[in-house]
Chain A
């Protein structure tokens, strides 16, 4: 399973007007894609749909950048198996 692909696809569904190829993987997603709290919740829900992972609210900070998202989800999925 390509986690980065799933993250980008989830972000694309929430912000279809943003060119995700162009975003800096270490920039803050909230600023880079202008995600507000409704967007962010939908992002977490979409990750659940794509990867069957439940991100706890207390872990939201760990999804702050694209690279951090991928690292967090890899670890989470690895622990589940």
Chain B
């Protein structure tokens, strides 16, 4: 028997509220099926089961607010081969709660913790994006509108590739030690209408093609705005990118989201196709020299957009 518990979605989360079940007693589920919609301080998220099996008992009721780690349901283990496709309820009928106030508090707590504990250093690096801009124009002209790419997808892809060579920027600082991550999950800051901000992860960004990266970015933005993020997307980012170029900003010097150890910022692309890329780094893990090498690698990838 497995216990499905209230997940911890970020370091600051202490409790969560069950909005609705997406399964009922007796349903067969596979690992990664979405089984519940859970409300946190920052967003409503779709929680996955980590196990395959049959839903034995739904302990928590919609509306229950419980501490992280509380058992919500029991899943009975069955032979993996016998799990057939189930009709897991896909769409939410429950109203999406308004998070603007609780989200502000959660961000305030995380940012205050960051500035208290993380000795930040900051670097900026101006990149000539002429080749990337020209390549993107040609690509988008030659492809149907549904396959168009945005510069953001190139920035994410170049970052993912560079992180493979610079592991000191991809991971977590926990219990006084740095733990690099094998997987590359790039958090991407998304502004919500009404003033909220959330940085869910493009999971396994290191394993995706450029067009997959674009598709996943678009999907992530849509789901972030619609309150349909999944638990892993909120808890597993190994680095964050913030792109304020759309809003006319020249450069952004961001605050690292703990327990991550780096944040990359991009400003607007100017009339000469130049953009200022910035790195906020954790000095307990890396330093200005390592940071400058990391930024140089990203810039080189962006000079050869056809290889991204």
Contact = CB atoms under 8 A, between A and B. Distances in A.
A39 B221 contact: yes
A42 interface: yes
Contacts of A45: 145-146, 148
A39 B152 CA distance: 12
A17 B218 CA distance: 18
Interface stretch (B36-44, B136-144, B165-173, B291-299): B136-144
Contacts of B193: 15, 17-18, 33-34
Interface string A10-44: 00001111100000000000000110111101101
Nearest to B222: A42
Interface residues of A, number: 20
A48 B152 contact: no
Given A16-B226, A57-B137, A57-B141, A41 B148 contact: yes
B145 A55 contact: yes
B218 A48 contact: no
A54 B140 CA distance: 11
A44 B148 CA distance: 10
B194 interface: yes
Interface residues of B, number: 21
Nearest to B137: A57
A15 B194 CA distance: 12
A76 to B, nearest CB: 13
A75 B135 CA distance: 29
A17 B193 CA distance: 8
A27 B140 CA distance: 28
Interface in B113-137: 137
A10 to B, nearest CB: 12
B70 interface: no
A37 B152 contact: yes
Contacts of A16: 226
A15 B191 CA distance: 13
14 contacts: A15-B225, A17-B193, A17-B194, A17-B225, A36-B221, A36-B247, A37-B151, A38-B217, A41-B148, A44-B145, A45-B145, A48-B146, A56-B141, A57-B141
Interface of B: 137, 140-141, 144-146, 148, 150-152, 191, 193-194, 217-218, 221-222, 225-226, 246-247
